[in-house]
Structure 1
């Protein structure tokens, strides 16, 4: 079978250590032939790992996309606000595109990207990896098999995890909505996509409430310095003390968060980075402004109603779901790989246990990459997480943020019309 070739635009944690890493473990499927990354250390590391010649290493993605088309596809893994230009230019150049989520924090850009993929007849696949999980795939099958009857209501909880929230949304790249995306878009467009998929209908109305309550200056313990390594007196009691957090927390290690702190993961190099770098800051003395808890209510055309809760204040990074139908109800925990199905007519309960790998969104990252390669080999137009379906879930998330800020219920059809006319 043909090996799919790719150019990598953005060699950060997701691009360099998840999607490009698939080429390392599956060289029969994917080969990275060029990289564009402004950080020289990360760029050189990717080049070394994938055997990319110097002339195919670019500091700026514009330089790469000015060249003649050199691969089958482009993996666009830049920051949230930097997806639009490389995605649209790559589509124009003839590349199929895999784009990290979210597509953009701008509703009009999201709509335009979806339209361009259709115009040029290219695959624009969004990294909504949960659609590729065995957990949500099984739930979708159970719904389609009519095991629950007609869907009535869904409750969904996104447990962000105190440690994940501190890393990504307090100290990290997604801490400020004015620089990246609102948290409900960045973290939960995954969930909006899944809820849209499971509901099997278009969303009509959105309302939302939430705030930044805990991770702010007024809650700092007395005497806590700006940086953990500046002699913090609370180091032994604080769950967020940076050296302990990055060297000892098992989840931080499993998710490779240390690579965000320093490309060189030697202990000395990491400690040096924590002295003055963003990941060494006290979580109460950062410049973050995104929420640490939020609820979203959705109404769909088929009268299904949904309530989703996102919270930073959980031990685990997990997703739990409760689906209520006319014939039965379903409760599930994605990270445990457990689904409990109750039948109203018989009173019987069925427990389904699935294998869930401990990393990569419970194995979804790998499954998504396998499907992306398959879609390109087959030149398929039926893509499970293509732009045509991802546009709506992104708009739902942005509508939720508007509702949270304004206190008003948002009509999604009007919201989309507004985006299309901008």
Structure 2
């Protein structure tokens, strides 16, 4: 292929617009030439930002896929249960696919996509963007070199942050597992993937517990109202008050210029449009009166093929949104977190070594630089005709994280029962 690699974006939401925005970082290598979204305002915004021809602007991914091939790459960033249905016709038309995770919460759909992909020339890359961060690449290098000996146990935390949980998983698009995916798959298949990638080991068995502790009707304080802006008597004291999160909070509110979350509420992303969205849309609902069913805390224990163990905790009730990692080996330990980007290596009997992962990263925005990292790697692969590298998240390599996550959800629903991964996968019907 020759530069620039052309991109068609199916779903111009948060993730689709993020990948499209990488054109600014790689102006000589990529160009957005087509867009599809159910929201006409989003289509209009994309058309304006990237000077997309009007004839390449579509009201749905299905409408886009009815056309002849429009670009080199199709970015599939629609909702979870639509991914496979959009990726398959894209592959058959000759697109290379950049596929937002998860592939699908239905394993038969994942298998169908795998089979179709084998007979099509296009590459499929799943957006497990953590593999492309300096932070996790340094950790992998340390572990691969045996700096702490053989890894015996790992503790990992995904600190979701109270406001992010309320935004995405209580009020927002991923609140209901029947409409999208279970939390352990939608949010934490990133973690299932990165933990097995770091260790280079396969998972043997899974046990998981968790539930919805707070975000339910019976936990609503007296005086709470269905909508934050309409008659709530505890508004001033409520940390989940929509006006605080989206308008006034210095870390997340639009008045402080922190508009990531508010950009989801309206295309205009102004103070006026945000207030209108809170008055009329789902993001203005009280967190105790939503139709959410995904967990707000979950702990998962992974037993690996060599007997080592990994403990993973996902929890909504944290101040900030970041990941923590600690590996304990036969010759030392590594402790690190993505909030500071500091990695501490403690070789037994030696002085502690401190590594600032941020100093090795060209870009720390968007999953610690993972968003730009995966686009840069994909562009280089297409322009250079290179094969997948060790960190490339092909469909095949992504499946392991999906098996683990769905087995964890099965275990949680069974009260923490131990699930043998091989038996779980083999027992799944070909068609669900």
With structure 1 as the length reference, what TM-score do the two structures score? 0.96
Show the 5 A alignment for 1:1-20.
2-16=3-17, 18-20=18-20
Q: How large is the Cα RMSD of the aligned pairs?
A: 1.5
Partner of 1:274: 278
Per the TM alignment, residue 256 of structure 1 is displaced from its structure 2 partner at its CA by 0.9
Kept after mapping to 1: 8 A contact 2:94/2:121? no
Distance of aligned partners of 1:163 and 1:396 in 2 relative to their CA distance in 1, 3 Å threshold = same
The 3-state SS of whatever aligns with 2:367 is coil
Q: Deviations over 1:226-279 (max 9, x none)?
A: 111103222221111112211233443546111111112121121111112100
Per the TM alignment, residue 420 of structure 1 is displaced from its structure 2 partner at its CA by 6.7
Distance of aligned partners of 1:250 and 1:107 in 2 relative to their CA distance in 1, 3 Å threshold = farther
Distance 1:418 1:362 in 2: 37
Count of residue correspondences: 420
Partner of 1:401: 409
Partner of 2:82: 82
Distance of aligned partners of 1:69 and 1:102 in 2 relative to their CA distance in 1, 3 Å threshold = same
Partner of 1:288: 292
Partner of 2:34: 34
Which residue, out of 353, 370, 373, partners 2:379? 373
Q: Larger deviation: 348-357 or 52-61?
A: 348-357
Show the 5 A alignment for 1:37-56.
37-56=37-56
Show the 5 A alignment for 1:234-313.
234-252=234-252, 254=258, 256-313=260-317
Show the 5 A alignment for 1:16-415.
16=17, 18-252=18-252, 254=258, 256-344=260-348, 346-355=349-358, 359-383=365-389, 384-407=392-415, 408-415=417-424
Distance of aligned partners of 1:379 and 1:118 in 2 relative to their CA distance in 1, 3 Å threshold = farther
Q: Deviations over 1:305-336 (max 9, x none)?
A: 11100100000101111101111111111121
Distance of aligned partners of 1:420 and 1:379 in 2 relative to their CA distance in 1, 3 Å threshold = farther
Distance 1:2 1:43 in 2: 25
Q: Deviations over 1:336-371 (max 9, x none)?
A: 101111112x33211111216563112211111111
Distance 2:85 2:124 in 1: 14
Distance of aligned partners of 1:126 and 1:251 in 2 relative to their CA distance in 1, 3 Å threshold = farther
Q: Deviations over 1:149-182 (max 9, x none)?
A: 1111111011010010000001000011111100
Q: Deviations over 1:279-312 (max 9, x none)?
A: 0011111111110000011112122211100100
Distance 2:249 2:113 in 1: 39
The 3-state SS of whatever aligns with 1:164 is helix
Q: Larger deviation: 117-126 or 153-162?
A: 117-126
The 3-state SS of whatever aligns with 2:301 is strand
Q: Deviations over 1:102-155 (max 9, x none)?
A: 111111212332333233243111111110111110000001111011111111
Distance 2:201 2:262 in 1: 40
Distance 1:339 1:171 in 2: 34
Kept after mapping to 1: 8 A contact 2:143/2:199? no
Distance 2:308 2:74 in 1: 37
Task: Name structure 2 gaps, 5 residues minimum.
Answer: none
Kept after mapping to 1: 8 A contact 2:259/2:269? no
Distance 1:135 1:24 in 2: 23
The 3-state SS of whatever aligns with 1:120 is coil
Distance of aligned partners of 1:301 and 1:395 in 2 relative to their CA distance in 1, 3 Å threshold = same
Kept after mapping to 1: 8 A contact 2:342/2:357? yes
Kept after mapping to 2: 8 A contact 1:229/1:274? yes
Kept after mapping to 2: 8 A contact 1:164/1:252? no
Distance 2:383 2:424 in 1: 36
Kept after mapping to 2: 8 A contact 1:114/1:391? no
Distance 1:78 1:162 in 2: 25
Kept after mapping to 1: 8 A contact 2:332/2:345? yes
Q: Deviations over 1:177-196 (max 9, x none)?
A: 11110001111000000011
